[in-house]
Amino acid sequence: MGAHMKTTIEISDPLLRQAKRVAAKERTTVRALVEQGLRRELGARQRGARFRLRPVTVGGKGLQPGVTHAWERLAALIYEGRGG
């Protein structure tokens, strides 16, 4: 996993007591719990990265002449007869 670096973090007393109880019960260390929690949180953030749609354009000149409806009307025309 690479080199380790010592650091200091401030944790509330109740949270630290709970972490120590869990660590003792699971026969592990508070350090291992902190590392596990950080990995889980950072992984979740990475998986939850926002999806970005690639810009895609097609050749053309926009809407057909005479089509000036609002989006709701255009959608109704597009899906007409298709259950939409």
Domains of the chain: which residue ranges? 13-47
> Could you tell me the pTM of the whole model?
0.52
Tell me how far apart the alpha carbons of residues 22 and 15 are, in angstroms, rounded to a whole number. Answer: 11
The percent of residues in the chain predicted with pLDDT above 90, rounded, is 42
Q: Decide: 74 and 67 in contact? Cβ < 8 Å.
A: yes
pLDDT tens, residue by residue, 19-46:
999 999 999 999 999 999 999 999 888 7
Q: How many CA atoms lie within 13 A of 1 on its CB side?
A: 6
